[in-house]
Chains A and B, each alone.
Chain A
């Protein structure tokens, strides 16, 4: 069974509706470790040794965060800058993360239509996440499509619950299925994968 590490970053969780729900649904899953970065490092002093140890103990990594200003909250950047050391994560001899899977699980206030519509000539979310994708590549990891919750400002409680259940189901699916042979790159977001899988199972 694959072990999953959720690197969760939210500077104001007490104000969050979506992420609080997401966390509640995954926190009790077996084999899933939630690493609450803003609670762990309120002064941004990331414990590099601890983080590297956690990464090595898990097979699938998730950056879970709100999609602030087309990117992640600041502590995620700090985490990447400090933890992914040269010679450890990348470069000569930097093979600690080789063949691990990683993806972003994000929430966005904008609707799905706000991104990537040809008419408006806007970049897609996947394009915005290019720095994460390239970071993963440099560390010899497999970067998966993101899990996205769109239009969070207008979501009802029920809709949010449905998203959270899907998220938990996705993580469990990843735990039980071997990812290496699967070609996930063709799908826009992991939400789609999940719905097609549920269809299959039915």
Chain B
């Protein structure tokens, strides 16, 4: 029965997502809004499939945020993080301080006690990492100035949660009961402050050192097993392990995994880690958004619509104004500043945790906390709409064209125009040749030993299965010009060709072919640049054989080129007439048939293989002698 209800729940969630998200995307609303709508749909307000357990699911699904920060860390190299330090500390610090102060002031004006007002201000100053980053990512705005500023603020807020959790109990009006204490028990609780600080710093150092040395070695070992699922399991273990460790010492798990991500950002397994975590992250985040949608208490809204929407409007206005002023102070252009301040104007998911914590501690009265939880959920649900408004109405008016163009060029700079899939005995020659001609390439390689070796010599090689869409995407297939398919396995090569034609139709493909049948299949797939791996060296060998027999090198070479042309022409003709109904070349009998066809073609086209007539003086000599007679 229990299992049955689990599957039923899973079915409801998945079905809601599958129906609502594509619909929302089609309407240009973005996936976040789709998930939220799905949540509202299956929640108590509409269909009622999900009831109280929505809250538990939300807590579980928050792990998606942890994973998201890991992925963001992976995309952020330490140097960039260092560049953002002013934004993180200055912009982030001021945002939390000023917003908390302003909101606390308003709360006092509404008649709350100063302690409750301070708690309220702190909690409401936070924004939603999940919603903001997911939306910015989806709109490809993470690398814009506004995106980086928003990210900096969110990162600071993640750090700020730690002191907040420490300060909140001091604001308590009730003597906390022992059960509440148990709820938050960690390894460090009960220790003196300096010990706690030492443990926290030690953990951060441990993550950095382990990431630099131990984890990379560990990942290499896992990669050498060549079992994809083991690598995926290791990645998950890494993220979950760090989250557990951080929770144990009272730090934010998201912060810990973010740090681990940054440390691993320059690792050769970066793309692989990213593409392994991505589906989990996406599903959990989706689940989280659904849970937020489902938890919106429409009964409460129906009872006091004016109050709730008034509070939401006031709250978001105050947050946005503070952010806008700060953005101006930190020299953001108007367009970027609008994006920045509107995107961060909601209240974050952490508020749910802090509100329930505050309730337990008796800091906030029950009624106010209940209303505020609804306000928070509504503000989160409104954010995607607000971003949409910004994109469609405000940005066209204020967009600072210059900054956006500059930023785009930045992104293009990072990617290489050529991607080489497979750096084995074939691809390595192409890659080295291109490098010798100052063409930088992004290399995708599945053999981890090879990856290590090449990286040692400064090649930009990434570990991963090139046929995977997500890896191709991460390697910049969307921006690249050429893809060199040099995979040794013809089936994989064909798979890659099909994937690229579907997802990256602009890419020009140069494909290595194993043999004739393989070539035929690639021709059928519409490939124009096909390179049979043996034809050139076989012909070179033939040229040398002729040379050793005393033939002139130049004629031997021309003859080889002529033969190559003849051979390719024959191949095309055979491809057109070949029998599709049977499996080609599955038996040696088929190979013999095909060889016979080729040899017959050689005989028929003999004329075209003869020497160049321009240099043949025979006809001239006979003509001269005839006229002399």
Give chain A's interface residues, CB within 8 Å of chain B. Answer: 11-16, 38-39, 42-43, 109, 151-154
Choose from B551, B554, B621 the contact partner of A11 (Cβ within 8 Å).
B554
- B27 shortest CB reach to chain A, Å: 61
Contacts A154-B624, A154-B625 given; does A15 touch B617 at CB 8 Å:
yes
Instruction: Give the residues in chain B near A152, CB-CB below 8 Å.
Output: 617
Instruction: Give the residues in chain B near A153, CB-CB below 8 Å.
Output: 617, 620-621, 623-625
| Contact status B555-A43, CB under 8 Å | no
Instruction: Give the residues in chain A near B398, CB-CB below 8 Å.
Output: none
Contacts A12-B615, A43-B557 given; does A38 touch B620 at CB 8 Å:
no
Interchain CA distance A39-B551 in the complex, whole Å: 10
| Contact status A12-B611, CB under 8 Å | yes
Contacts A38-B554, A39-B554, A42-B556 given; does A12 touch B612 at CB 8 Å:
yes
B616 sits at the interface (CB 8 A): yes
Interchain CA distance A42-B558 in the complex, whole Å: 8
Instruction: Give the residues in chain A near B624, CB-CB below 8 Å.
Output: 109, 151, 153-154
Instruction: Give the residues in chain B near A43, CB-CB below 8 Å.
Output: 557
Chain B, residues 146-167, CB within 8 Å of chain A (1/0): the string is 0000000000000000000000
Interchain CA distance A109-B552 in the complex, whole Å: 23
Q: By CB atoms of chain A within 10 A, which of B554, B611, B628 has the most?
A: B554
List residues 295-339 of chain B with CB under 8 A from any CB of chain A. none
Chain B, residues 356-381, CB within 8 Å of chain A (1/0): the string is 00000000000000000000000000
| Contact status A14-B555, CB under 8 Å | yes
| Contact status A14-B551, CB under 8 Å | yes
Choose from B554, B611, B612, B621 the contact partner of A42 (Cβ within 8 Å).
B554
B553 sits at the interface (CB 8 A): yes
Choose from B551, B552, B617, B623 the contact partner of A38 (Cβ within 8 Å).
B552
Interchain CA distance A12-B621 in the complex, whole Å: 15
Name the CB-closest residue of B to A69. B614
Q: By CB atoms of chain B within 10 A, which of A14, A109, A153 has the most?
A: A153
Choose from A15, A38, A42, A109 the contact partner of B616 (Cβ within 8 Å).
A15
Interchain CA distance A13-B611 in the complex, whole Å: 12
Instruction: Give the residues in chain A near B628, CB-CB below 8 Å.
Output: 154
Interchain CA distance A182-B40 in the complex, whole Å: 107
Instruction: Give the residues in chain A near B557, CB-CB below 8 Å.
Output: 42-43
- B446 shortest CB reach to chain A, Å: 35
Sample of 4 more A-B contacts, CB < 8 Å, known A11-B612, A38-B554, A154-B628:
A15-B611, A38-B552, A39-B553, A42-B554
List residues 577-629 of chain B with CB under 8 A from any CB of chain A. 611-612, 615-618, 620-621, 623-625, 628
Instruction: Give the residues in chain A near B555, CB-CB below 8 Å.
Output: 11-12, 14
Interchain CA distance A12-B616 in the complex, whole Å: 8
Q: By CB atoms of chain B within 10 A, which of A16, A42, A151 has the most?
A: A42
Name the CB-closest residue of B to A73. B615
Interchain CA distance A15-B555 in the complex, whole Å: 11
Contacts A153-B620, A154-B628 given; does A38 touch B553 at CB 8 Å:
yes
Name the CB-closest residue of B to A109. B620
Name the CB-closest residue of A to B550. A14
Interchain CA distance A11-B623 in the complex, whole Å: 22
Interchain CA distance A13-B615 in the complex, whole Å: 9
- B541 shortest CB reach to chain A, Å: 15
- B612 shortest CB reach to chain A, Å: 7
| Contact status B615-A11, CB under 8 Å | yes
Interchain CA distance A28-B621 in the complex, whole Å: 29
Interchain CA distance A13-B555 in the complex, whole Å: 9
Interchain CA distance A16-B617 in the complex, whole Å: 8
- A159 shortest CB reach to chain B, Å: 14
Name the CB-closest residue of A to B553. A42
Name the CB-closest residue of A to B623. A153
Interchain CA distance A152-B625 in the complex, whole Å: 11
| Contact status B554-A109, CB under 8 Å | no
Name the CB-closest residue of A to B622. A153
Could you write out 18 A-B pairs with CB less than 8 Å apart? A11-B554, A12-B552, A12-B612, A14-B551, A14-B552, A15-B615, A15-B616, A16-B617, A38-B553, A38-B554, A42-B554, A42-B557, A109-B617, A109-B620, A153-B621, A153-B623, A154-B624, A154-B625
Instruction: Give the residues in chain A near B621, CB-CB below 8 Å.
Output: 153-154
Instruction: Give the residues in chain A near B618, CB-CB below 8 Å.
Output: 15
Interchain CA distance A14-B624 in the complex, whole Å: 20
Name the CB-closest residue of B to A75. B554
- A50 shortest CB reach to chain B, Å: 16
Name the CB-closest residue of A to B560. A42
Interchain CA distance A16-B611 in the complex, whole Å: 13
5 closest Cβ contacts across the A-B interface? A153-B624, A12-B615, A42-B554, A42-B553, A38-B554
Q: By CB atoms of chain A within 10 A, which of B551, B617, B625 has the most?
A: B617
Instruction: Give the residues in chain B near A11, CB-CB below 8 Å.
Output: 554-555, 612, 615
- B628 shortest CB reach to chain A, Å: 6
Name the CB-closest residue of A to B616. A15
- A49 shortest CB reach to chain B, Å: 19
Q: By CB atoms of chain B within 10 A, which of A12, A16, A109 has the most?
A: A12
Interchain CA distance A151-B618 in the complex, whole Å: 14
| Contact status A13-B625, CB under 8 Å | no
Instruction: Give the residues in chain A near B623, CB-CB below 8 Å.
Output: 153
Name the CB-closest residue of B to A40. B553
Interchain CA distance A152-B430 in the complex, whole Å: 48
- B38 shortest CB reach to chain A, Å: 65
Interchain CA distance A23-B13 in the complex, whole Å: 89
Interchain CA distance A11-B611 in the complex, whole Å: 11
Q: By CB atoms of chain A within 10 A, which of B612, B615, B621, B623 has the most?
A: B615
Instruction: Give the residues in chain B near A13, CB-CB below 8 Å.
Output: 552
- B319 shortest CB reach to chain A, Å: 69
Name the CB-closest residue of B to A16. B617
List residues 141-200 of chain B with CB under 8 A from any CB of chain A. none
Interchain CA distance A153-B624 in the complex, whole Å: 6
Instruction: Give the residues in chain A near B615, CB-CB below 8 Å.
Output: 11-12, 15
- A110 shortest CB reach to chain B, Å: 10
Instruction: Give the residues in chain A near B556, CB-CB below 8 Å.
Output: 42
List residues 88-140 of chain B with CB under 8 A from any CB of chain A. none
Choose from B552, B611, B612, B616 the contact partner of A39 (Cβ within 8 Å).
B552
Interchain CA distance A43-B558 in the complex, whole Å: 9
Instruction: Give the residues in chain B near A151, CB-CB below 8 Å.
Output: 624
- A9 shortest CB reach to chain B, Å: 10
- B584 shortest CB reach to chain A, Å: 35
Instruction: Give the residues in chain A near B617, CB-CB below 8 Å.
Output: 15-16, 109, 152-153
Chain B, residues 541-584, CB within 8 Å of chain A (1/0): the string is 00000000001111111000000000000000000000000000
Instruction: Give the residues in chain A near B616, CB-CB below 8 Å.
Output: 12, 15
Instruction: Give the residues in chain A near B554, CB-CB below 8 Å.
Output: 11, 38-39, 42
Instruction: Give the residues in chain B near A154, CB-CB below 8 Å.
Output: 621, 624-625, 628
Interchain CA distance A151-B625 in the complex, whole Å: 11
